[in-house]
Amino acid sequence: MDKVAVFVIYDRAIDEEVLSALGECGVQTYTRWHNATGVGSTGPHQGDTVWPALNNVLMAVIEPESRGKILERLRALREDYPYTGLRALAVPVLEMI
């Protein structure tokens, strides 16, 4: 496995904290999608008058040896904000151009 893609789905209220945590782990390049909607363990995030919250989604392609450090830092951030949605997953990158 050459690379790993880490996807972070989180309440946009903690955008600065997520970016800071990833920066501490050496993540310098990423793609971020703003104002994503969905339903998760912290409830609906639909961006409407009933469910006004919204998410951001971030993807960073990293070296496999960085995965553990990044996920541990995001776990700690999740503990700091227990009522704010934050999920992360790491998947192998099979091919990249």
pTM (2 d.p.) = 0.92
User: Residue 72 — pLDDT band, cuts 50, 70, 90?
Assistant: very high
| 63 within 8 A of 28, measured Cβ to Cβ | no
The reported pLDDT for the residue numbered 42 is 85
CA distance 97 to 92: 15
Domain boundaries, the chain: 3-92
CA distance 66 to 79: 20
pLDDT in tens, 1-49: 699 999 999 999 999 999 999 999 999 999 999 999 999 888 898 989 9
| 90 within 8 A of 22, measured Cβ to Cβ | no
pLDDT in tens, 54-65: 999 999 999 999
Q: Thinking of the domain 3-92, which architecture would CATH place it in?
A: 2-Layer Sandwich (3.30)
